[in-house]
Structures are given as C-alpha cells and as structure tokens.
Amino acid sequence: MKRELEELLFSRYPKILEGCQQEGLGIADGWFTLVDTLCRDLQHLTDNGRGAQVKAYQVKAKFAQLRFYAGGGDSFQKGMIYMASQLASRTCEECGAPGEPCERDYAWFILCPVHAQSRSSK
Ligand SMILES: [Zn+2]
C-alpha cells in the first residue's frame, strides 16, 4: 500500500490500528476504501457506546483474502469484519473495481480484467 494511504488510515483510526504501526498494513491500494469504511464504522459504533473498542494486531492479504486480525469486538463487529473480508475477495487489489481470484507466479491475487491482463503481460 502507498505510504500516504497507510498513513491516512493510521491517522484516522489510531485506536484500532496502533498495534499494526510497527509492521504496517500488508494490503494493496485497491482495498483502501474497504478497510477505511470498515474502520470508520467500527470506530463510530464504539464512539457512540454501541460496541467495544476493536484493536487490530495484523492487517494483510493472505491467499488473496483480506485478513483483519483483531481483538475486542462483539459479534456484530466481528460480522462487519467478516463481511469486509468477503467483499475484498471480490475487489481488485490494484484499483478497487470488481475482481476475481487470479494466479500469478504461484501466488493468488484478486484482480479486475484490466489488471489481470496487465499482470499477465509482464
Ligand atoms: Zn483493477
């Protein structure tokens, strides 16, 4: 992920993401809006007394899936994290357009048709 996008997430959601500062966020730019929306709504619930403080300790892509490892959430918040992960599995990691799993050099990515094409021509 671009440094400035990562910094934006860290500055917007310090309570959720402070445990990830050291390692950084291991995701590509196309998932920025998903993670931004997830963290925004998680923090909104907490700030309005309707949810526990979620604290992520690792956020990364693994086997073309968004892994948002966190503690502190209730079942509703865990459902939000689950849903964001499900949406990520259909969202291009490069640009955020609808995508699907693609294998490149023995690794899996979620890519839209445009980025699936550009990665295969390397
Ligand atoms: Zn794309």
For residue 116, the CA-to-ligand 1 centroid distance in Å is 7
Average pLDDT, the chain: 95
Closest by Cα among 64, 63, 42, 37 to 53: 42
For residue 92, the CA-to-ligand 1 centroid distance in Å is 5
For residue 100, the CA-to-ligand 1 centroid distance in Å is 10
Which CA distances in Å does 76 have to 39, 73, 89? 14, 8, 20
What's the DSSP call for residue 42?
H
Which amino acid would we find at residue 100?
Answer: E
For residue 117, the CA-to-ligand 1 centroid distance in Å is 9
Q: Does the pLDDT value for residue 72 go beyond 60?
A: yes
- Confidence at residue 112, expressed as pLDDT on a 0 to 100 scale: 98
What's the DSSP call for residue 94?
T
Which two structure tokens, joined as six digits, stand for 100? Answer: 């699907």
Q: What is the mean predicted confidence (pLDDT) over 68-81?
A: 96
Residue 101, number of CB atoms within 10 A of its CB: 14
For residue 53, the CA-to-ligand 1 centroid distance in Å is 33
Share of residues in the chain with pLDDT > 90 (%)? 94
Per-residue pLDDT of 45-67, as tens digits, reads 999 999 999 999 999 999 999 99
Q: Does the pLDDT value for residue 34 go beyond 90?
A: yes
- Confidence at residue 122, expressed as pLDDT on a 0 to 100 scale: 52
Per-residue pLDDT of 85-107, as tens digits, reads 999 999 999 999 999 999 988 99
For residue 30, the CA-to-ligand 1 centroid distance in Å is 7
Secondary structure of residue 120 in the 3-state scheme: helix
By residue count, the chain amounts to 122
